Amino acid sequence: MKVIGHRGAMGLAPENTLLSFRTALELGVDGIEFDVQNIDGNLLVFHDDTLERTTDGVGHIHQHSVEYLRTLDAGQGEQIPFLQEVIALIGTKTMINIELKGVRTASLVMHLVKLLDKDHYNKDNFIISSYLFSELFLIRQLDPDIKIGVIADDQPDVALSFARDVNAYSFHPSLALVNEELVQEVHREGMLLYVHTVNDPDNIAKVKAMGVDGVFTDYPDRVR
C-alpha cells in the first residue's frame, strides 16, 4: 500500500509549504499530494479560498496579487510556494500528485508538465487530480496519456462513471465511501484506488485489509 503525504505532511509541518514537502520526503513517502491555484497566471500551492486558516493574511486569495501573497507567513516563516519551486524540490524523488483547485488551472498545469517532460522529468511521475470533472476533462483533451485521478467525497457511482469516461489512472474517494466492494469495482475498471484522508491507525489497517492501493495521510510516519 502506497503512502501519499497529504499537503506534504500536514500533521507534522505547515501544510503545502516547502517545509512540509521536505518533511514528507524525509519520511520516505511514495508520493506527495498538494493543491494548486491559478492566481493571475501564476500557479501557487495553496488549499483554501481564503487566507485566514493557514496564513497571517486576510480575505479571499483571488482578491490579492501574487506579490502580496508571497509576503505572507504560511507557518513557521514559510512562504506560499510556487508550483515550480515544489516540483524542483520533489524532482523525481517521489510521485507528484497535483490537485487542481478551481477554474483556469488545468491548461497552465499541463503546459508546465509538458515543458518538464522535455527535460529530465517524466510525466509518468505525475498524477493530476481534481474534484472538478470539467478540469479533468480539459486535462484529458490536452494530453491523452497523462495520469488522471478523480476525487470523490459523495456519489461514488457518478464519479466512477466519469473516471471511466476520462480514462483515469486512479480513483480517490474519501474514507467514508470506501468498502471492499468499491475497491473491487475500481480494480475491475483497471484503476488504482487511493483513499483520502486516513490518519487513524485503525482506519489505516482497515483500508489496507480492504486492498486499497494507497492512502493520503497527514501523518506519513504512522503508516510507515
Catalytic (active-site) positions: 6, 47
Is residue 218 involved in binding ligand G3P (CB under 6 A)?
Answer: no
Selected binder of ligand G3P within 6, 64, 140, 147 (CB under 6 A): 6
| Residue number, 99 or 218, with CB nearest to Mg ion | 99
Is residue 35 involved in binding Mg ion (CB under 5 A)?
Answer: yes
CB of 67 to ligand G3P, least distance (A): 25
Is residue 35 involved in binding ligand G3P (CB under 6 A)?
Answer: yes
Is residue 147 involved in binding ligand G3P (CB under 6 A)?
Answer: no
Is residue 15 involved in binding Mg ion (CB under 5 A)?
Answer: no
Which range touches Mg ion (CB under 5 A), out of 20-28, 99-107, 109-117, 166-174?
99-107
- The residues, any chain, with a CB within 8 Å of residue 165's CB and separated by 6 or more, are none
Q: Look at the alpha carbons of 169, 166, 91, 65 in this order and tell me if their dihedral is positive or negative.
A: negative
| Site map 165..194 versus ligand G3P, x via CB under 6 A | -------x----------------------
Q: What phi-psi label fits residue 91: left (phi over 0), alpha (psi between -120 and 50 degrees) or beta?
A: left
CB-CB contact of 42 with 64 (8 Å): no
CB-CB contact of 40 with 34 (8 Å): no
Torsion of CA 121, 11, 62, 195, to 10 degrees: 60
CB-CB contact of 190 with 219 (8 Å): no
- H helices of 143-223, in order, are 156-165, 180-188, 201-210, 220-223
Selected binder of Mg ion within 99, 105, 182, 195 (CB under 5 A): 99
Task: Give the interface with ligand G3P as residue ranges (CB under 6 A).
Answer: 6, 33, 35, 47, 99, 129, 151, 172, 196-197, 216
